[in-house]
Amino acid sequence: MKGREARGRLLEQAESGDLEASLIEMTRHPLLVLADELSGEAQMRREDEGDPGPFIERLVDFLQGRGHAIIGGLAVRAYVRIRPTNDFDVMMSPENWDAIRSFLAAEDAECSSSVEETYLYTFRSFKLDLDVRLARSPLDRAALDHTEARAYRGRTLAVVEANYLAAMKVKAYSERKELPKGEQDSKDVRRLIRANKADEKAVRAILARHRPDLLPELGEILAPERL
């Protein structure tokens, strides 16, 4: 009976989303590490992709006490366990920009591109895409003010609330709706709403307040033929 209850709890966590589980997946679970070492896959992965685990731990430490919000696919995974993600997306308050730039410079990270207020960092020694977004727009500033605290290995990370996450995903969809990533954005919005993590009326209200021009895009995403 206890085994069934434990499995049930694990399934419930998997369905509801778990930031800690998602981050551990990115750093590799100890049992997966052991299995991969025994099979030889770990060595091949290190040669091909490197190991982002130690960096992720240092990044989490850096974020402690600083205004931030986990966004993007990792945030979606914190609410709905639906897909793997190899990207770490974090939004920072503008006053922390110099601090995170210095931190990433010390980590030998390279800013490979930027779009609006989002800066994409890559790393020479391991495979990981880190997007750092500065909260300057009204929608982003509001999202940064609406976060949930989630535990990760004895520390706390702020995850943007689901309604604001969905609103940000609508914005992302509007900018790349013709691309595969745009389709992923639309799926994320629908999944958050279907899972009752985000509320359609609340998302509409957020967009009406901060980006009323995006209400037609929300209508596209939630069109009956796409649900």
pTM beyond 0.95, yes or no: no
Residues 87 and 197 in one domain: no
| pLDDT value at 163 more than 80 | yes
Residues 156 and 195 in one domain: no
Q: Are 190 and 226 in contact, with CB atoms under 8 Å apart? A: yes
**Residue 68 host element (H or E):** strand 68-71
Tally Cβ neighbours within 10 Å of residue 178.
7
Residue percentage of the chain with pLDDT more than 90: 69
Residues 71 and 141 in one domain: yes
Rounded CA gap, 167 and 75, in Å? 13
Residues 118 and 11 in one domain: yes
**How much is the mean pLDDT over the chain?**
87
Number of domains in the chain: 2
Q: Which domain holds residue 62?
A: 2-160
Instruction: Show which of 160, 192, 207 is a domain's final residue.
Output: 160
Neighbouring residues of 49: CB distance < 8 A, sequence distance ≥ 6? 126, 127
pLDDT, tens only, 59-106: 999 999 999 999 999 999 999 977 667 789 999 999 999 999 999 999
Residues 142 and 188 in one domain: no
Q: What is the mean pLDDT of residues 23-52?
A: 71
| pLDDT value at 44 more than 90 | no
